[in-house]
Amino acid sequence: MGHRDIIVVGASAGGVGALTRLVRSLPRDLPATLLVVLHIGSRNSSLPEILASAGLLPAGFAEDGAPLLYGRILVARPDHHLHLGPEGVRLSRGPRENGTRPAVDPLFRSAARTYGPRVIGVILSGTLGDGTAGLAEIKHHGGATVVQDPEDADYPGMPLSALRNTTVDYRIPVTGMADLLVRLTALPHRPGARPQPGTPIARLRKDDGDLPMEGYDLTAPVALTCPHCGGALAETTVDSLRYFTCHIGHRFAAPDMEEAQFRKLEESLEIALRSLNERAALCRRLAETARKKGHSHSAAHWERAMQEVEERAAMLAGFIQQGWRRPDPGGDEDPAS
């Protein structure tokens, strides 16, 4: 019988510590490939070195076209999504999902659609909702789903989002998760020979083209625009979690959409305040110039304009400083274990 031999892991804030504790307990002869996405954006990252020194498994950044080898850890590169295709690893600089690249959902989604029941999906510490839709895809295609107990996570947002919005097989602290993963790799899922540790699972053909943009249908748009590009958004639902996708391919789970929209709102207000302050400064200079030329009527006009702008800028500054009510878009209760 075949077995589960592809473990995909997603993490964000607090994820380095959780990942370190996880790989520390994994055996050298793990009969699976471990693929990791951490929200590192475009920053330089030493995560492969950290994971390699923490445990017995070698770790490195994923290379486009690389085979999947048992007993190896492949980490998503900065500013690149990590995908799995029919022949192995693919990297892309496709649109950001949930505000980040690399994102967890592209890895989970592509692994589920390509390898189905061979996949084990794991969500660790992080904020907002990245990974939830991908975990639902893994479950839908017959894979196993594992989530770090939110009480064990430094940042429980990602685990809570998964537990609230999709079916999860195992909710467990990181301590003990390695043993669970080893047990899950031994469970049969379909007929087929079990490859030996260290042998390639799949290799990419050299003539494969670029990854196509996926996930957007020209459905009726909702009355919302993309916080990244301003394009119209289409709304879908994955299990019980709402998703918003623009025609460029920027994709947001509801918590990430709320966060991105709020940041755009604050940025817009700050730009407005800056513009008002700059106009007040310009009016002041024009008033000074008019006074020097003896144009008292014109100077008085610019001074009144300056005072008007300063009053409105003070009102806007006070408005911004009041803060905002931020309800949790995912709910307000910890789901039952």
- Residues recognised as catalytic: 12, 39, 130
Query: 297: which 2 tokens?
Result: 């009527």
Whether residue 68 contacts residue 41, with contact meaning beta carbons closer than 8 Å, is answered with no
Nearest to 244 by CA among 229, 259, 234, 231: 234
Q: If you search the block for the tokens 């024009």, which residue do you land on? A: 286
Alpha helices in the chain (DSSP H): 15-24, 47-54, 104-115, 132-140, 157-165, 177-185, 254-292, 296-321
CA distances from 97 to 11, 37, 180 (A): 14, 13, 29
- The dihedral over CA atoms of 49, 53, 55, 56, expressed in degrees to the nearest 10, equals 90
- The dihedral over CA atoms of 87, 92, 95, 99, expressed in degrees to the nearest 10, equals 100
In this structure, which amino acid lies at residue 88?
G
Distance CA 66, CA 303 (A): 67
Whether residue 137 contacts residue 8, with contact meaning beta carbons closer than 8 Å, is answered with no
Distance CA 162, CA 302 (A): 57
Hey, is 95 helix, strand or coil?
coil
Distance CA 273, CA 98 (A): 28
Distance CA 164, CA 335 (A): 6
Q: What is the sign, positive or negative, of the torsion defined by CA atoms of 135, 136, 141, 145? A: positive
